[in-house]
């Protein structure tokens, strides 16, 4: 899953000599707050709407060099989409420029494009139960977790891990390929996993008793 697989070219780059008004008009047209700036085929940087608005007094000029404005934010076309997702989050982007190894501009990834791709490829449309486990950061053995699931003739369709600041605990979310997951939940509990939440279990598994037992076990430590 590389960024080159999801490049779009429906948002056209701008040039160093384009006016601020032109750049803002294109942002309004594309409904984005950033635009890629190129010189020939070379990628120069990403121009931000907020940076342009700081120079509102220059709007009457016919041409304004914006080479001091673009930020060198980009992703290579052979990078994993997780790298792109991180940049979207860190910089609060609507679009992310993609370049080749010579930093020649190839196109952009839009935030919508990214979320659509993740939804299609990482989150299966197949119905299934969801289990959220709380584990220690040194107990994150996916092989053991997968073994528990697969021993019950079930497959993991997707998984994700969430960490918390100033904590050694992790939250592991598993989507499985069946909705009757009560026996799998029981297996996790037998192996001393903390089942934090359960979704889409067609049997309506009631974990109240198990949660109480886990609390009592914790208080006895």
Q: In the chain, count H helices and then E strands.
A: 7, 10
DSSP assignment string, 91-136: HT-SEEEEE-TT-BEEEEEEHHHHHHHHHHHTS-SS---EEEEEEE
With bands split at pLDDT 50, 70 and 90, how would you rate the model's confidence at 65? very low
Query: Among residues 63, 97, 120, which one ends one of the domains?
Result: 120
With bands split at pLDDT 50, 70 and 90, how would you rate the model's confidence at 117? confident
Average pLDDT, whole number, for the chain?
83
**pLDDT for the residue 126:** 73
CA distance 184 to 150: 9
Same-domain check for residues 62 and 37: yes
**pLDDT for the residue 61:** 46
CA distance 179 to 58: 60
In a domain, 161, yes or no: yes
In a domain, 208, yes or no: yes
More confident residue, 121 or 213: 121
Average of per-residue pLDDT across 21-40: 92
Same-domain check for residues 103 and 153: no
Query: Among residues 73, 96, 120, which one ends one of the domains?
Result: 120
Nearest-10 Cα torsion for 115, 118, 120, 124: -130
pLDDT, tens digit, 9 for 90 and up, residues 131-150: 999 988 776 678 899 999 99
Tell whether the model's pLDDT for residue 70 goes beyond 90.
Answer: no
Same-domain check for residues 215 and 134: yes
Query: Among residues 93, 120, 147, which one ends one of the domains?
Result: 120
- Residue pair 109/99 in contact by the 8 Å Cβ criterion: no
Taking the model in full, what pTM does it have?
A: 0.68
Same-domain check for residues 11 and 116: yes
Same-domain check for residues 162 and 66: no
Same-domain check for residues 142 and 61: no
In a domain, 11, yes or no: yes
**Total number of domains in the chain:** 2
pLDDT, tens digit, 9 for 90 and up, residues 78-88: 999 889 999 99
CA distance 175 to 27: 38
Domain CATH code at residue 27: 3.10.580.10
With tokens 């056209």, the residue in question is: 12
Adjacency order of strands within the sheet including 130-136: 156-163, 169-176, 130-136, 194-199
pLDDT, tens digit, 9 for 90 and up, residues 173-192: 999 998 899 999 999 999 98
Same-domain check for residues 82 and 167: no
Domain span at residue 214 reads 130-219
CB burial readout 17-54, b (16+ within 10 A) else e:
ebbbebbbebbeebebebbbbbeeeebbbbbbbebbee
In a domain, 113, yes or no: yes
In a domain, 125, yes or no: no
Instruction: Dump strand ranges (E) for 129-193.
Output: 130-136, 156-163, 169-176
Same-domain check for residues 55 and 37: yes
**pLDDT for the residue 136:** 85
Same-domain check for residues 8 and 93: yes
In a domain, 62, yes or no: yes
Phi, psi dihedral angles at 56 (to 5 degrees): -60, -30
Same-domain check for residues 29 and 113: yes
Domain CATH code at residue 182: 3.30.70.260
């Amino acid at each position: 899953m590389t960024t080159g697989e999801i490049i779009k070219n429906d948002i056209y780059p701008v040039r160093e000599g384009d006016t601020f008004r032109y750049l803002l008009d294109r942002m309004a047209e594309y409904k984005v707050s950033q635009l890629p700036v190129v010189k020939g085929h070379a990628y120069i940087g990403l121009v931000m709407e907020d940076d342009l608005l700081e120079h509102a007094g220059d709007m009457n000029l016919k041409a304004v060099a914006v080479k001091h404005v673009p930020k060198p934010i980009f992703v290579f076309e052979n990078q994993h989409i997780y790298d792109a997702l991180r940049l979207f989050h860190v910089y609060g982007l609507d679009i992310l420029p993609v370049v080749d190894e010579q930093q020649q501009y190839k196109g952009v990834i839009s935030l919508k494009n990214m979320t659509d791709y993740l939804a299609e490829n990482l989150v299966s449309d197949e119905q299934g139960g969801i289990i959220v486990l709380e584990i220690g950061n040194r107990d994150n053995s996916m092989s053991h977790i997968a073994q528990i699931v697969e021993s019950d003739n079930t497959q993991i369709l997707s998984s994700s891990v969430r960490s918390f600041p100033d904590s050694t605990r992790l939250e592991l979310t598993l989507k499985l390929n069946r909705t009757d997951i009560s026996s799998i939940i029981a297996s996790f509990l037998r192996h001393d996993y903390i089942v934090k939440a359960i979704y889409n279990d067609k049997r309506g598994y009631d974990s109240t008793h198990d949660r109480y037992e886990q609390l009592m076990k914790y208080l006895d430590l």
